[in-house]
Structure 1
């Protein structure tokens, strides 16, 4: 019985540029932590082997420190690691792999498959047939040579490739690198370990994508896992068991506001976000100034609670009531600006008008609330006449 772990798409060094710098740093660090959990899990399970089907690194130009840290993260498993270059870390003449070798960062129990030739692990009775990418994109099937590869009799044949199984993932995979459907059976493989699709997916009885061990996209594709693969003997069907590895849940929530009670429901949903969540929140519909204020405050609190949060208000319309306008004391010119911005929320410049109205209303609202606090504290309140300068906060062309 051979027991191995199949994993891929670690994407070490990913930048997460859509997030704030502090959030991006936490997300990048989470990828190292996931590798540490993989190593610990392989050690606890007393596995024979770990195969990594490409994209260990997210880019060739990662820092030397990142290279050292990645290989140090493997220390929890002293067995054999077999690593394949993918499209993000292809085996170029000068690559992250040649740099790692010069840095003497690669442990002795790590085998890099930099060429399309069998790797014989005689002590385990395993022949690894790798299809390393030597450039980011190729339109040839690099796994084609598996069928003609000669391996010692009785050895398990395990293929290792990174790309798109034709007819299954060709339109949605990360790169065009093709892999023929039915390759495992055609090449007499006992198991074919694939990378590039970031979710766990079975292709056929002997072929699987493991997915990334730590989710990195807002997509429901069974990510955050590795695969435990058990092979009883040559040509026996593998027994494959998904293993939960990822810590962070990437969730995409859409809130639609139409009536006042929808704001309460939205606040409840936001309150359910947990510290391990990475959230993309889109808000659409309409709300008054009070509802908008409550929503912003709840999201501000959630940003301090979750790992990362992206909020999109571009489809939310601010419908100010007569009471809202009275409370802002926006008479004269300011009142005219507010009326025009409210009307423009329906036109071609709706998003700019919406942002300008939200900004202006927020400034005026903050001034009024500050004045109320100063009165309560016994200090002179700021004259509301000075609020006219808030009109300057509207974007160019918005009024």
Structure 2
């Protein structure tokens, strides 16, 4: 028996660095991923799809997002989607799963996992869920779900959401999921597979090969490891086979560039050019080094150009240290005199001052001002 394990769709998510038409494109891509998951389930002969929490970004998402999500799941009516409420969309009084839009248009292939009662999902296979009913549970919901489920000869899939105690630095959090307890239950044959959500990186946990985070089907940030997957799980009494399958279309890229020459700027341009599907790529640059006014002007034009191509192009301020130092020839070429020349001298002094935080901020502003002055005077000549 095969099924798809996925999680953290977080439909309706917004990102502060996305602007203009990039945010709607990001939103639509997350809905499109549902259709790809349904089609993959059909192609692989999977019995169902289980979504392990955070189906929606919150319980207050736009109604259009919910309507489009349901429509996307309806495109593969032969595939049943089991939805687990997580910390972003808990099953509380304001639950999105209780909204009029959700209840007025019920789909026979969409089932919300509202409690831990075992659900027969295939011949000899049961699903036991650990839904969140609040944003701050006071116990290990997965262990609780395992404990209340009556023993059964059926193969058991446990679906939960949250952080494992083996990964969390907050040992006092009562909602942490005990990896040791899960391993014990797997070893005893009480559990055959543990499908988890919350961690956006595809991860095989423990030593059994039966406890997995699927990761988010579309990447959401730079620090995720191997995101953009769903897991095709083949479950048999004697073994489990888990195969990650790439679903995501977006990419988050971090890049450090050391700039001291025109050749270095050429290399940065080549790296940016080589990135594929730029409209679905978010880039964060760390710029380090020392450049002239002319080189800073060229760099600014380069970044302006690629900012129009990528979904977002950011400069990683905390890890950037780019100093603009005009040489004597550049200053002479500007042909400034009087007040303007005095102002340039003041900017040069400020640009070299970076001992304190305030000085560093002023230094960056001064460097940018000199680069702008160079561009403006150059365009007027």
One fold, TM greater than 0.5?
A: yes
Q: How big is the shift at 1:185?
A: 4.1
- The reply on whether 1:254 has 2:252 as its aligned counterpart is no
User: Helix, strand or coil: the match of 1:147?
Assistant: helix
Which of 336, 348, 351 is residue 342 of structure 2 equivalent to? 336
Q: 2 CA distance for matches of 1:148 and 1:294?
A: 65
SS in 2 for 1:24: helix
Q: Displacement of 1:325 after TM fit?
A: 1.7
Cα distance in 2 for residues equivalent to 1:246 and 1:202: 19
Would you say the 8 A contact 2:257–2:268 is kept in 1? Answer: yes
The alignment's TM-score, normalised by the length of structure 1, stands at 0.85
Match of 1:300 among 299, 304, 315: 304
Residue in structure 2 matched with residue 361 of structure 1 by the alignment: 371
Question: Does structure 1 residue 315 correspond to structure 2 residue 313?
Answer: no
List per-residue Cα deviations over 1:73-121 (Å, max 9, x = no partner): 1134322211101100011122111115655244111110122322233
Q: Which residue of 2 aligns with 1:196?
A: 198
Structure-to-structure mapping, 1:125-144, within 5 angstroms: 125-144=124-143
Q: CA deviation at 1:364?
A: 4.8
How big is each residue's C-alpha offset from its partner over 1:344-395, in whole Å with a ceiling of 9 and x where there is no partner? 23233222332244235314522431x34xxxxxxxxxxxxxxxxxxxxxxx
Q: Which residue of 1 aligns with 2:55?
A: 56
The equivalent residue for 2:179 is 181
Aligned-partner Cα distance in 2 for 1:241–1:338: 61
Unaligned 5+ residue runs, structure 2?
none
What's the counterpart of residue 46 of structure 2? 47
Q: Which runs of 5+ in 1 are unaligned?
A: 373-399
Over 3 Å counting, the alpha-carbon distance change for 1:51 and 1:100 in structure 2 is farther
With 10-19 and 100-109 compared, the bigger mean Cα shift is at: 100-109
Residues 247-276 of structure 1 show CA distances to partners (whole Å, capped at 9, x for unaligned) of: 122111111213443222222222223224
Q: CA–CA distance in 2 between the matches of 1:226 and 1:284? A: 37
RMSD: 2.2
Distance in 2 separating the partners of 1:109 and 1:12: 19
Q: 1:273 to 1:355 in 2, by over 3 A?
A: farther
SS at match of 1:5: strand
CA contact (8 A) 1:184 1:190 kept: no
Matches within 5 A, 1:11-30: 11-30=10-29
CA distance in 2, matches of 1:111, 1:184: 25
Higher alpha-carbon Rg: 1
Moved more, 220-229 or 68-77: 68-77
The aligned counterpart of 2:362 is: 352
CA distance in 2, matches of 1:45, 1:366: 60
Separation in 1, partners of 2:229, 2:375: 47
- Check conservation: 2:85, 2:131, Cα contact below 8 A: yes
Distance, in Å, in 1 between the alignment partners of 2:39 and 2:70 is 14
CA distance in 2 between counterparts of 1:222 and 1:238 reads 21
1-structure distance, mates of 2:140, 2:198: 14
CA distance in 2 between counterparts of 1:278 and 1:191 reads 35
Query: Aligned partners of 1:290 and 1:142: how far apart in 2?
Result: 60
Deviates further, 26-35 or 96-105:
96-105
Q: How has the CA–CA distance of structure 1 residues 114 and 73 changed in structure 2, closer, same or farther, with 3 Å as cutoff?
A: same
SS at match of 1:19: coil
* Residue 271 of structure 1: aligned partner: 273
Provide, for residues 5-31 of structure 1, a one-character-per-residue CA deviation record: whole Å limited to 9, x for no partner. 000001111110123233222222221
Looking at structure 2, the residues matched to 333 and 366 of structure 1 have their Cα atoms a distance apart, in angstroms, of: 16
Number of corresponding residues: 364
Of stretches 102-111 and 290-299 in structure 1, the one that deviates more from structure 2 is 102-111
Alignment CA distance shift 1:317-1:343 (3 Å): same
Retained in 2: the 8 A contact 1:119–1:127? yes
From the superposition, tell whether residues 209 and 100 of structure 1 become closer, same or farther in structure 2 (CA, over 3 Å): farther
Using the TM superposition, give the Cα deviation of residue 284 of structure 1 relative to its aligned residue in structure 2, in angstroms. Answer: 1.9
- Check conservation: 2:54, 2:87, Cα contact below 8 A: yes
**Structure 2 counterpart of 1:69:** 68
Q: Call closer, same or farther: CA 1:336–1:354 in 2, change over 3 Å.
A: farther
Q: Determine the C-alpha separation between the residues in 2 that align with 1:22 and 1:172.
A: 38
Aligned-partner SS, 2:27: helix
TM-score, length-scaled by structure 2? 0.89
Distance 1:327 1:182 in 2: 70
